[in-house]
Amino acid sequence: MHKMVLLQLAATFVTAAVASTLFGVRGFFSAIWGGLAYVVPGVFFAWRLWLTSLRGEHAKVTTFMAGELVRLISTVGLLALAVMLYKNLHWGAFLIGLALTVKANLFAFLVKTRT
């Protein structure tokens, strides 16, 4: 799970670097906002699952689903916060940053994991 979050964070910064060359500083920060709005709740969700596994408890389905619901709500809240706080938002870079960070999960199979 931690590798997944690191992969999403890497996708956010790669997208921001490309957005900065295409759209300038405005595109860079817009892509960062879009990507981090998805990554930050994922970090807390992964951290919570990791703490649950350290205690030796098995994650129940209801606990997992409640965590996913909180992650979804906080992602939407961070997206709304980005729109309200960053008045110079470049919508193209913002949405591309969000989309590529979300789709970084599809490339997780390329990251070799230890068993």
Distances (CA, A) of 51 to 61, 87, 112: 16, 37, 23
Q: Does the pLDDT of residue 115 top 60, yes or no? A: no
Is pLDDT at 70 greater than 90 in this prediction?
A: yes
pLDDT (tens digit per residue) in 2-37:
788 889 999 999 999 999 999 999 999 999 999 999
pTM: 0.84
